[in-house]
Amino acid sequence: MQGSVEETLRDEARFRAFAASVRKDIDAVLAGYDIADKATLRQLQNELAQLDYLDGNLDAAQQRVDAVRALQEKPADKLLSGLTLSAMIAAQKAGAAASSEAYRKDVARRVSEALAAMPYEVVQNEVKEAKAGNELASEALILGYVRNVIQPTVDKAGSISSELAPAIVNARYRLVATLPLKDPLVGAFGTYLAAHKVDKPDIWAARDVVLPPNQGYAPVNVAVWDSGVDTRLFAGKLVEANGKPQVLAFDRYARRATGELMPIPPALRSKVPTLKARLKGFSDLQSNIDSAEASEVKAYLGALKPEQYKAAIEEIQLAGNWMHGTHVAGITLAGNPYARLVVARIEFDWHLLPDPCPSRELVLRDAGNAQATVDFLRRNKVRVVNMSWGGTVQDVENQLELCNVGKTAEERKSIARDYFDLQKNALAKAFASAPEILFVTAAGNSNQDASFVEDIPAGIVLPNLLAVGAVDKAGDEASFTSYGPTVKVHANGYQVDSVIPGGDRVAESGTSMASPQVANLAAKILAVAPKLSPTEVIDLIQRTADRTADGRRVLINPRKALDAAQAHRQAA
């Protein structure tokens, strides 16, 4: 690529030449490989559907939509896949010009009619997410990403990889195809939600168990290996030495650090209350809650200019990282007066362009820190660790490209493999060095097979490691949750309420919220039956879980699990 990416987006001739190159690459991949992974096939077919639509080839685009729908595995995805694009295709084939008000109304009508035939109990979460996504859509957000992420990459390398190129296609698709439909789509999704307003049943309340105090159960040391924890919120539930909470911290450069929470840059400290409110606003939008915070987020992002994009998004990402570990800790410790917290803090990068960029020196330090962290946990007699984080070899390759490391795609691929394997092997070795500790990890939020994409830690196979997928409060599979052979159980990870630094409460979604539900259960089991080994705890959790009829979900059942733990305690 040469020159301005934005000009490529806006200029029909330039975009067609670029799109032809992207199409040729995707076609070559599909022709040259026997791809068994459905998520990969869905991604490639979706990219081709957008290209076909932008080329005006409506029949081909609909065929791609149908192909993607046939590849869907989750019930809601099978129903909703390609909903908007199919309505756009049908409206254009009916004769309405894509720039006309008649077309906009026809698309909304078709979306509404399709939704009306769908079971609300199956699709409500995804429709809420679709409404929120459209409410937040803007030209500034689309162009902000192009200017601040893609353009610097092109400027440095003069080219773009096949992994990043579809982002330009998607940006064009959103600019010219879906953004003009923002208001009609928000209206269609909102009308459907307003017509039902029947909330899903909560299966978890009846399964939950709060351990009563003063029952002679064993104290259980648990660790939250995350972005840090506001330990002031957990007074009386901390592992301490010399009156201080036990904390081991590393910054994003993989160097030893101090402090139990990742630091907020001085220039942003005064904005912390606003950033907290925006986190709540995003959460409320996802739940279709018309709150003051949700309205503020819509107004803030709606008025954003492309040149303000970088600062705005990085602030939001920083705030999300900063609160993450505390939110996870609140879930991990809930209802267990015998749990005692140890904090292992790492710092997640929040920048649009990696800072720092991957390097072998950084990776080697990080690999050494994995063992140092596990050694720290062992010294503090930790029994259960929650890890709501992860990464893939493709993530490393993408970071290398954004940093212009490696002269060619093949060189980046080789470097990424080297760095990734160093990290994966170090983590696996560290986990294996502590067979007495149960490590619980999030499956990931990419709606992919965690093993196929080599997510770590979720894709690592060890007897003392358990990966957790996410469902909602009714036990339905979350749209984002990853899956695969290592994902053995599922827990509620959809709009889970917990505490954040300072004591405010926010509902968050992700496998990050499902994993600590299982860590919580494991700690309760060990309080009741402390002699159980990690493999025995995993077996008990799986044995008492409920497998769904479709075979895709194994829902933990804390009440059954703790009944089994009590039986073990009595037998011992």
Asked if residue 299 is part of any domain, the answer here is no
Query: Quick one: pLDDT at residue 28?
Result: 97
Q: Would you give per-residue pLDDT tens digits along the chain (572 residues)?
A: 888 999 999 999 999 999 999 999 999 999 999 999 999 999 999 999 999 999 999 999 999 999 999 999 999 999 999 999 999 999 999 999 999 999 999 999 999 999 999 999 999 999 999 999 999 999 999 999 999 999 999 999 999 999 999 999 999 999 999 999 999 999 999 999 999 988 889 999 999 999 999 999 999 999 999 999 999 999 999 999 999 999 999 999 999 999 999 999 999 999 999 999 999 999 999 999 999 999 999 999 999 999 999 999 999 999 999 999 999 999 999 999 999 999 999 999 999 999 999 999 999 999 999 999 999 999 999 999 999 999 999 999 999 999 999 989 999 999 999 999 999 999 999 999 999 999 999 999 999 999 999 999 999 999 999 999 999 999 999 999 999 999 999 999 999 999 999 999 999 999 999 999 999 999 999 999 999 999 999 999 999 999 998 888 999 999 999 999 999 999 98
Q: Are 230 and 126 contained in the same domain?
A: no
Q: Are 450 and 566 contained in the same domain?
A: yes
Q: Are 485 and 532 contained in the same domain?
A: yes
The whole-angstrom separation of Cα 363 and Cα 515 is 25
The whole-angstrom separation of Cα 45 and Cα 326 is 39
Asked if residue 292 is part of any domain, the answer here is no
- Out of 166, 196, 226, a domain closes at 196
Query: Quick one: pLDDT at residue 403?
Result: 97
Phi, psi angle pair for 259, to nearest 5°: 100, 145
Helix axes 534-543 and 511-528, enclosed angle (nearest 10) = 110
Q: Are 424 and 542 contained in the same domain?
A: yes
Asked if residue 329 is part of any domain, the answer here is yes
| One-character DSSP codes across 11-32 | -HHHHHHHHHHHHHHHHHHHHH
The whole-angstrom separation of Cα 460 and Cα 253 is 24
- 505 forms bridges with which residues in the sheet? 499
Asked if residue 29 is part of any domain, the answer here is yes
Q: Are 171 and 256 contained in the same domain?
A: no
Query: Quick one: pLDDT at residue 551?
Result: 86
The whole-angstrom separation of Cα 392 and Cα 396 is 7
Q: β-strands 240-241, 220-226: how paired?
A: unpaired
Q: Are 324 and 240 contained in the same domain?
A: yes
* CA 26 to the chain's CA centroid: 26
Positive/negative CA dihedral, 145, 150, 156, 158: negative
- 407, 413, 405, 312: which is closest to 359 by C-alpha? 405
Asked if residue 289 is part of any domain, the answer here is no
DSSP state of 406: S
Query: Quick one: pLDDT at residue 490?
Result: 98
Q: Are 242 and 96 contained in the same domain?
A: no
Q: Are 182 and 227 contained in the same domain?
A: no
CATH number, residue 540: 3.40.50.200
Asked if residue 314 is part of any domain, the answer here is no
Q: Are 118 and 228 contained in the same domain?
A: no
Query: Quick one: pLDDT at residue 371?
Result: 98
Q: Are 175 and 323 contained in the same domain?
A: no
Asked if residue 207 is part of any domain, the answer here is no
Asked if residue 10 is part of any domain, the answer here is yes
- 341 forms bridges with which residues in the sheet? 222, 238
The total number of structural domains that make up the chain: 2
Q: Are 405 and 534 contained in the same domain?
A: yes
Both tokens assigned to 494? 């959809």
Q: Are 188 and 245 contained in the same domain?
A: no
Domain that holds residue 108: 5-196
What is this structure's pTM?
A: 0.96
For the chain, counts of helices (H) and of strands (E)? 22, 14
Both tokens assigned to 194? 């307003």
Q: Judge contact between 146 and 6, C-beta under 8 A.
A: yes
